[in-house]
Amino acid sequence: MVLIEAIFYIEVLGNDKKAVETSSMEIEKKLKEERNVKIKGIYRDKVVENEEDEKFKYSTVVEAHVEGKLGNIVDLVLKYGPTIVEIENVKGNEIHAKELVPILGRIAYVVGALIDKFGPVVAYPKLDALPKPKIGYSEEEIERMIIEENLIRYRFAVEIYGNSLGEIEENLSKALFLEGCKINKIKVTEKEKIPLEDNKVRIKALAGVELLSDLKTLFVLAAKYAPLAFIIIEPEIINIDPAELQSTLSEIASIVNDLVHRPLLAE
């Protein structure tokens, strides 16, 4: 079991001072009602004014000191989308793969719902000019990467769109390589042809991949791609590094924060 003590900095923005203050009070109230984590302290700053920012003229920060199991802390990140997650202490340095998979599933479900509502997270540079990455490794190479580089071997399936199966496979492999993955297997299967104008079609496909990456990349892919299914192949016990964990939680928080604030930024 991994037990985490952390500080959440939850920023509240708006162009109405009273609304910002009310929102911060509501966040404080909801935090105090949380039952799956221990709330060790909550501090709510005064609302400050920034005359140079017309959209977000008023702001404040709710600082919450929390303690709980990794899965419950992740749930809190998904619920409140803090601007910053600062880990103060981690007790336990290992987690079983069977315990990690449901956490990844909740990330995929929650962020997937936000993506459906506000648009995709993934934004890559033009992929055409990039060389196709290596696909396929020997079992000896995979064993070395797991033992020496502390990588995790896993599979996931995701729905994806493109003009052809070949294009989908090539672009997906390049995108995953940019994320920091080693690609062992990739298979793209057509699900549906969607008619477009000028007798063209767009293909909806199911892509299954087997990857190796570090823990942070695994979490980030769960958020960015919202996979339909996840399996961790090996190792059975995954090491937890506090610095990597802080970076991981901060990245997930940033993704959630970006999605929920898109409507405000678009105004």
Poorest-pLDDT segment among 66-75, 96-105, 115-124, 155-164: 115-124
pLDDT bin (cut points 50, 70, 90) of residue 265 is very low
pLDDT in tens, 186-208: 999 998 888 887 778 889 999 99
Q: What is the pTM of this model?
A: 0.88
Is 91 exposed, middle or buried, given 0-12, 13-18 or 19+ CB atoms closer than 10 A? exposed
- Residue 256: which domain range? 3-93+248-266
Rounded to 5 degrees, what angle do the CA atoms 157, 249, 243 make? 115
Residues 228 and 262 in one domain: no
Question: Residue 212's beta-bridge partner residues?
Answer: 153, 182
**CATH classification of the domain holding 116:** 3.30.70
Q: Compute the chain's Rg from CA coordinates.
A: 21
Domain count for the chain, please give it: 2
Please state the rounded mean pLDDT for residues 31-44.
93
Residues 233 and 110 in one domain: yes
Please state the rounded mean pLDDT for residues 98-123.
88
- Is 243 part of a structural domain of the chain? no
